Amino acid sequence: MPSKKSKTRARQKNNRLGASSQAVLYPLIIFALIVWVIYRILFDFPVWFDESIGKAIFFGLPVWLYISGSGNAQVVESFDFNKIRPGLLLGLAVGGLYGFVAAITVLLVRSSGVMSVALFSSTFFWWEFLLALLTGFWESLFFFSFIMTGVLAKHRSWSVLQQVMWVALIFLIFHLPNTILRFSGLNILTEFFLLYFFAMGQAFVFYRRRNFYTLVISQAIWGMVLLVHV
């Protein structure tokens, strides 16, 4: 049995780690935002490069620095191997719900009919799905396993809604450069709306489950729904 002194020392160490991880949270986010915006404005690499190598550098590296520098293990706990199976199953359910709502919304807005398309037999579809998985991987790691875990620890006095809305706002800010470059007029506002409320949904799911794999799959499915229907 550990002694009272050893328990006290362990508690003090955890408090120091918690304080240090909270202190570097926003500086790392701001640094990542600055270099990401510069990258998006100055360079125009192919989508596969952005979603794999680009986000590995600009989203993955800050998370690695955060974990290695602060010793905070809460980020790692969100992608524990024991969470893979339940996370993937829930991700399919959540992603399916996103897809159903998006498809019905598009049908109602456009007053269009339903057309049968052999998507799953298309090589293009599976290539885009691979890119969607990469996007879901790096963005779930950065915005939820990293940022939301940090926000939950740093702003414990906030309500869940405040925490979720704050994380969703950070998600939206990071997506502003790409949205502004790709869209114009009312389409920008529509994209902002979709991104913000999608991020809120993901943040609520992460708050309840703390499961990285759920968000990866649900975001990948959401991305494919937008590609097919929007």
pLDDT per position as a tens digit, 151-191: 999 999 999 999 999 999 999 999 998 888 777 777 788 88
* 173 neighbors 33 (Cβ within 8 angstroms): yes
The predicted pLDDT at position 55 comes to: 95
The tens digit of pLDDT for each residue in 204-230 reads: 999 999 999 999 999 999 888 777 655
> What is the residue whose two structure tokens read 């952005």?
50
Tell me how far CA of residue 24 lies from CA of 31, 39, 61, 67, 110, in angstroms.
11, 22, 14, 11, 46
Residues 108-138 have pLDDT tens digits of 666 555 555 666 677 888 899 999 999 999 9
Q: Which two tokens stand for residue 218?
A: 């649900």
Rounded CA-CA distance 146/21 in Å is 11
Domains in the chain: how many in total? 1
Band of residue 102 on the pLDDT scale cut at 50, 70, 90: confident
CA dist., res. 114 & res. 131, Å (int)? 26
pLDDT at 181: 79
pLDDT at residue 85 is higher than 90: yes
183-208 pLDDT, tens digit per residue, is: 777 778 888 888 999 999 999 999 99
**All residues at 6 or more sequence positions from 9 whose CB lies less than 8 Å from its CB, including other chains:** none
Residue 166 confidence (pLDDT): 98
Domain with 42 in it = 4-229
Residue 169, pLDDT score: 97
Percent of the residues in the chain that have a pLDDT greater than 90, as a whole number? 53
Residue 135: CB atoms within 10 Å? 21
Q: What pLDDT, on a 0 to 100 scale, did the predictor assign at position 145?
A: 95
Look at phi and psi of residue 128 and say left if phi exceeds 0, alpha if psi is from -120 to 50, else beta: alpha
User: pLDDT value at position 207?
Assistant: 96
Query: What integer pLDDT is reported at residue 230 of this predicted model?
Result: 56
